[in-house]
Amino acid sequence: MGVAIVGVGQTPFRRNCGINIRELCFEAFKEALEDINLAPKEIDASVVCSAPEYDKQRSPAGLISEYLGLASKPTLYAESLCSSSSTGVRVGYSFIKSGLHEIVAVIGFQKMSEISSAEAQERMGRGADIQWESPFGTMMPAGYAMFARSHMHKYGTTEGQLAKIKVKSGKYALSNPLAMFRREVTLEECLKARVIASPLKMFDCCANADGASCVIMASEEKARKITDTPVRVAGIGAASDTLSTTSRTNLTGLDCAIQAGKQAYKMAHIEPKNVDVAEVHDCFTIAELMAYENLGFCKPGEGGKLIEESQTYIGGEIPVNVDGGLLSKGHPIGATGGSQIRTIVLQLQGRAGKTQVGGAEIGLVHNIGGIGLYGNVTILKR
């Protein structure tokens, strides 16, 4: 028995959304149930996903489940930092595959404005090993910047190539009404922007946002009754790596993404070249470039050339992040994976509007938690 996605939803990603987390989740849930033949009461379990350091509500699963009318059905909380909602989809897949449940709602959210910027600043430093790395003043951009520096040294990757990834992001964000930043950015603007953590500059980094996403999953048998256009989960891979930088051996790629990708390709019986459209975790430009290589869209070290040749634009070998990606959409941690899945589902259903990749049949979602700490790759088929 296969597992399919029957509905997807997402709120706009924005700063200071002005509503509470239950209302945010409701917006995404409502969109996911629009135009499909499914009543909320038919959902028989829910998985709620966020990164708890931004939550004021203790154990949000119960609250969200109640507000969506799902109380009495089992619910639980899933967390893997920025890949929390992909982890939620993995849990949902297991629920359905095991026969425990037939229809599962995966709700991801983050209200990053829930805490003050001083509180956020304090939490920022504790994403690393708090005993041996946080005492040196590290943070997420610094972690990815060290990979960027290493990649440049080993392969000759340039700041201009990284900037071209942001230029692509800006172009496609114009067509995404849910993106936080909807404007084109020039190569010069990117290169002249202030340095955050060298060699990464402002436009190499994504921004915090508030938002929610929802993915409704069902057994294939149920899925056919719910919608005419179910999207099958063909492959699902997950891996982790060490939290400490000192234990890493690969400084030019994310091993957890390589492993998760291999698992997903094997399970889906496809190769990288069969992917028609992909969403990759571009929390930083270097993260997207490494994803090209780690997922096998090009050889290690050739990510710079791939973007240089515009091969990840629509019309190129493998269109990537044609919804603007995290770089333009914003990155509400727990909601991000669900948003990526929504984009691919819309692509495979032919509902992606101006950024539709013609004839897309196989899509891939690459969602990373932390600095290559948690890797999740999901392959979807029409």
Partner 1 sequence: MSFERFGKIGFISETKVASFVKHLEDGKIMATRCSRCGKLYFPPRADCPDDLSTDMTWQQLSGRCKLLTYTTAHFAPTGFRDDVPYTIGLAECEEGVKVYALLSKDIDEKEMRIGMDLQVTPVRLPNSRITYELKKA
Q: Which two tokens stand for residue 323?
A: 């919804």
Looking at the Cβ atoms of 141 and 337, the one nearer to partner 1 is 141
Q: Which of the following is catalytic: 82, 206, 214, 283? A: 82
Minimum CB separation from partner 1 for residue 332, in Å? 20
Residue nearer to partner 1 on the CB measure, 187 or 193: 193
What is the per-residue DSSP string for 220-256?
Answer: HHHHHHH-SS-EEEEEEEEEE--SSGGG---SSS-HH
Quote the CA–CA distance of 310 and 318 in Å, as a whole number: 10
Q: List the structure tokens of 92.
A: 């949902």
The least CB distance from residue 243 to partner 1, in Å, is 12
* Residue 317 one-letter amino acid: E
Token duo for residue 325: 């990606």
52 lies in the binding site for partner 1 (CB under 8 A): no
Calpha distance 369→375 (Å, rounded): 6
CA distance 238 to 91: 11
CB of 119 to partner 1, least distance (A): 9
Does residue 200 bind partner 1 (CB under 8 A)? Answer: yes
Strands 75-78 and 45-49, bridge-based pairing = parallel
Size of the site for partner 1 (CB under 8 A): 37
**Is there binding between residue 333 and partner 1 (CB under 8 A)?**
no
Find out whether the peptide bond into 319 is cis, omega within 30 degrees of 0: no
CB closer to partner 1 out of 39 and 118:
118
331 noted as active-site residue = yes
Which one from 101, 151, 281, 331 is the annotated catalytic residue? 331
Of the candidate spans 39-47, 61-69, 206-214, 242-250, the one that interacts with partner 1 by CB under 8 A turns out to be 242-250
Instruction: Based on the shown chain and the rule CB under 8 A, indicate whether residue 100 belongs to the binding site for partner 1.
Output: no
CB nearer partner 1, residue 108 or residue 143 = 143
Bridge-based pairing of strands 3-10 and 231-240 is antiparallel
49 in catalytic set = no
Closest CA to 32 of 335, 377, 332, 359: 335
- Letters for 176-195 (x = contact with partner 1 by CB under 8 A, - = none) are ------------------xx
Length of the chain: 382
Examine residue 224 and tell whether it contacts partner 1 (CB under 8 A). no
Q: How far apart are CA 332 and CA 272, in angstroms?
A: 28
- Using CB under 8 A, which residues numbered 121 to 160 contact partner 1? 121-122, 124-126, 130-139, 141-142, 145-150, 153
The only residue of 37, 244, 269, 309 in contact with partner 1, by rule CB under 8 A: 244
The nearest distance, CB 208 to partner 1, in angstroms, is 13
Instruction: Give the bridge partners for 49, in sequence order.
Output: 78, 108
Q: Are 44 and 229 in contact (CB under 8 A)?
A: no
Active site amino acids? 82, 331
Residues found near partner 1 in the complex (CB under 8 A): 118, 121-122, 124-126, 130-139, 141-142, 145-150, 153, 194-200, 244-247, 251
